[in-house]
Amino acid sequence: MKADRLVATLLFLQTRGRVTAADVAAELEVSERTARRDLEALASAGVPVYSQRGRGGGWALVGGARTDLTGLTAGEIRALFLVAGPSAVTPELRLALRKLVRALPSTLRAGAEAAARAAVTDDTDWSGSALVAAPQLDALRAAVVDGVQVRLGYGRPGRPPGVRTVDPLGLASKAGVPYLLANTPKGLRTFRLSRVTSVDPTGELVVRPDGFDLPTAWRALAGQMEDRILAATVRARAEPSAEPVLEGLFGGRLRVGQPAADGWLAIEIDGPSPEVVAQQLAGFGARVEVLAPPGARRRMAGLAAELASLYGEHGGAPEHDGAAEHDGAPGHDGAAEHDGAPERKK
Task: Look up residue 284 and give its amino acid.
Answer: F
DSSP-based three-state secondary structure for 147? coil
Stated pTM of the model: 0.53
Using pLDDT thresholds of 50, 70 and 90, give the confidence band for residue 56: low
Question: How high is the mean pLDDT of the chain?
Answer: 79
* 23/19 Cα distance (integer angstroms): 6
pLDDT at 236: 96
Axis crossing angle, helix 91-103 with helix 106-116, rounded to the nearest 10: 150
**pLDDT exceeds cutoff 50 at 237:** yes
**Of 321 and 281, the one with more pLDDT:** 281
CATH number of 2-64: 1.10.10.10
* 251/127 Cα distance (integer angstroms): 16
Is the Cβ–Cβ distance between 2 and 39 less than 8 Å?
no
* 2/68 Cα distance (integer angstroms): 20
- CA dist 109 to 74, 91, 217, 276, 283, Å? 9, 21, 37, 52, 53
Using pLDDT thresholds of 50, 70 and 90, give the confidence band for residue 245: very high
Tell me what percent of the chain is helix, strand and coil, each rounded to the nearest 5. Answer: 50, 25, 30
C-alpha torsion sign, points 88, 89, 90, 91? positive
Which CATH number, 2.60.98, 3.30.70, 2.40.10, 3.40.50, labels domain 232-304? 3.30.70
Share of the chain above pLDDT 70, in %: 75
CATH number of 137-208+215-228: 2.30.30
Residues 6+ apart with CB under 8 A from 296: 234, 274, 275, 277, 278, 290
